[in-house]
Amino acid sequence: MALTESTMVPLGTACPDFTLPGVDGRLWSLHDFHCPALLVVVMCNHCPYVQAVDDRINALARTYQDRCAVVGLSANDAETYPEDSFEAMRIRARAKGYVFPYLWDEEQSVARALGAVCTPDFFLYDGHRHLTYRGRLDDNWKDAAHVTRQELRVAIERVLAGEGPLKVQHPSMGCSIKWKAGA
């Protein structure tokens, strides 16, 4: 596992349009999300960094369910990493009780358009779907009991209050996205 930090995509960047299959059996597009904020989490099943925070992501989705839509997106090469296949995503989502759509970016085009490089990688968009936060969930991915700063939660609250982005944003870190060979 190679530790990778997220790239700091410029704030104000528009969310790329997408239509992707969800583990729930339906196609989801950007236009299905009508909340004042949208959080896109690039994640996967096998990454220990995602596994350490996926319950926190799910809790965040529960807390903000009517105000900030959360969508998980997996783009890893399932041929090389079968534990990240679409069927494995279904199993994981069911086992973890995800309350957010978990989408498969098989062609990896949405992850590339987002500027994602690691899992987890967090992208928060305002009501106009412009990027207002990209960075880490909080200041302790290893242990929720030792979190002292919940930067993503603060960023969501700022979007919902109509305030500008956080001045200081720390990159997320995790496993590199497993890009397809030659892609």
Closest CA to 53 of 38, 41, 40: 41
What's the Rg (C-alpha) of the chain? 15
Res. 183: pLDDT tops 70: no
Mean pLDDT of 75-99: 97
* CATH for 30-176 (3.40.30.10, 3.40.50.2300, 3.40.250.10, 3.90.1150.10): 3.40.30.10
Mean pLDDT of 115-121: 94
Determine the pLDDT at residue 140.
83
Mean pLDDT of 88-107: 97
Confidence bin at 2 (pLDDT 50/70/90) = low
Mean pLDDT of 21-45: 97
Res. 182: pLDDT tops 70: no
Mean pLDDT of 113-123: 95
Determine the pLDDT at residue 141.
84
**Phi–psi pair at 27, nearest 5 degrees:** -90, 135
Q: With helix as H, strand as E and coil as C, how does the chain read?
A: CCEEECCCCCCCCECCCCEEEECCCCEEEHHHCCCCEEEEEECCCCCHHHHHHHHHHHHHHHHCCCCEEEEEEECCCCCCCHHHCHHHHHHHHHHHCCCCCEEECCCCHHHHHHCCCEECEEEEECCCCEEEEEECCCCCCCCHHHCCCCHHHHHHHHHHCCCCCCCCCCCCEEEECCCCCCC
Closest CA to 177 of 109, 111, 101, 89: 111
How far does Cα 9 stand from its chain's mean position?
A: 14
Res. 1: pLDDT tops 70: no
Confidence bin at 144 (pLDDT 50/70/90) = confident
Confidence bin at 56 (pLDDT 50/70/90) = very high
Determine the pLDDT at residue 130.
97
HSE of 123, CA atoms in CB hemisphere, 13 A? 32
The reported pTM is 0.95
